[in-house]
Amino acid sequence: MASTKKSVSSRAKRVGKQKAAAEQRRQQRQYEGVPDEIVELLESGDILPEWDKFYRAFPTVTAAAEAVARGEEVTLESHEHELLLLEVVLEDNQPVVMTTLHVPYGTRDALLSGLFNSETADREQVMATMADLLPELLPEEARIDGVEAVVEAPAPGLLAPRFAFRFKTPAAGLTTWSSYYEATHQFSPLREAMSWMDTGAATHAEAVAILRRHGIPAAACAQCGHAVTNQHPAWPGLWVDLVPECGPLCERYDDTALTQENEIDSLAIGGPHHVLTLEEAAQAGLTANG
């Protein structure tokens, strides 16, 4: 019996080895010229669909640059850690890797509040002012030479411009994507500041205060601190924040007085945001601009 067991186990081992060798051959065929770290990522199953598609199409910077030279579009949009747009483009016929990091939602909401609360006729001027002051919304260490502040006007028929920071790196001399990340490591503090889960950039009330110092009429709710506007197209005249499930409802509104013990009697439906009037702000010791 012992010999039978042994032969089963050695057969299993042989089959295992054959499988491993076949798998290796498959990978070699499938990933010819793809750097090991990218193969590992693609095989891990732990990669978002947009990155999977991008790295399969352009496994190296070299491949991306060649594709652009052939007239292909090389673009990745991902919202994994930050609102990222990675592109390879031609500038003066030279391939350039362009990274655009859109500001996180709380920063965007303050900027949109300032824009929507401005007179419609003034909006172009307001956007120009915003482009100048965008770096002030960054933490000190993220204000890096070579970073451009971008305010993209809304596409025709749309209302909201896009706000971002961008840096460009010539693709010449770069080979792998890891060589690109090494070459751009000085921008890490910017990437961190733009991270939308735990941003270091000024958001909501903090960003509103900075905008107001520049004369931009952004507003924040005195209760919840969210950036709010009363010029949302669906809710004109009512203060709303731009978080879809909240909108006109303030998450800090105190309606305990309306809550009854029995659900049948409850009048508690939440309440509105509250933006201080100039008078209230003065009473609270805040200046009109602060």
List of residues contacting Zn ion (CB under 5 A): 221, 223-224, 250, 273
Q: Kindly list the distances between the CA atom of residue 80 and the CA atoms of 11, 138, 191, 221, 276, in Å, as whole numbers in the listed order.
A: 45, 20, 12, 29, 36
Contact status, residue 103 vs residue 131, Cβ threshold 8 Å = no
Which CB sits closer to Zn ion, 78 or 223?
223
Q: How far is the CB of 106 from Zn ion (least distance, A)?
A: 13
Task: Give buried/exposed letters for 80-117 (b at 16+ CB in 10 A, else e).
Answer: eebbbbbbbeeeeeebbbbbbbbbbbbbbbbbbbbbbb
Which CB sits closer to Zn ion, 38 or 221?
221
Which CB sits closer to Zn ion, 161 or 217?
217
Cα three-residue angle 89-42-95, rounded to 5 degrees: 15
Strands in the chain per DSSP E: 74-78, 83-91, 94-102, 148-152, 162-170, 219-220, 227-228, 249-250, 271-272
Q: How far is the CB of 195 from Zn ion (least distance, A)?
A: 24
Q: How far is the CB of 269 from Zn ion (least distance, A)?
A: 15
Q: How far is the CB of 205 from Zn ion (least distance, A)?
A: 10
Which CB sits closer to Zn ion, 61 or 221?
221
Q: How far is the CB of 223 from Zn ion (least distance, A)?
A: 4
Which CB sits closer to Zn ion, 88 or 224?
224
